[in-house]
Amino acid sequence: MGDISILGPVGSSCIELPFFSSRVSAGFPSPAQDHMEQTLSLDELLDIDAPHTYLVRAEGDSMTGAGILDGDVLVVSRALTGRHGDVVIAAINGETFVKRLTIRGDQVVLCSESPRYPPRYVLEGDDLMIWGVVTDSIRRHRSHG
């Protein structure tokens, strides 16, 4: 199946997490507790529109230039229509990809974000389906275990 693994639809959540208004320094830490102003749900942060949102896991390194790394979880909206420049989940003749959608006149091209991978031109007779637009990515920074 191409370079994604479908994880499934996203259900709405009523869990709210503390949200700190101050930015976190990547240098010297500051006491953030003094700046907690509100709570924020992940639904709101990631603009989850259940049931039109689903998750996929990226596989491979063809989209590193877009900040999508192997193993990242991608938040995908089926409610959005793919436009030129969007990162989309697409299927060509049944093979799925995460690629940047490029439209040049009548020509549709699915482009990687790595020079190691050539663009995939959608040819006459190809069955192209856009399964959704990638709106966000989630990256784990601590391994399980």
Active site residues: 62, 99
Report the phi/psi class of residue 45: left, alpha or beta, with left for phi > 0 and alpha for psi in -120 to 50: alpha
Q: Which of 47, 74, 87, 57 is nearest to 137 (CA)?
A: 74
Rounded to 5 degrees, what are φ and ψ at 42? -65, -30
Beta-carbon contacts of residue 73 (< 8 Å; ≥ 6 apart): 7, 55, 56, 57, 58, 137, 138, 139, 140
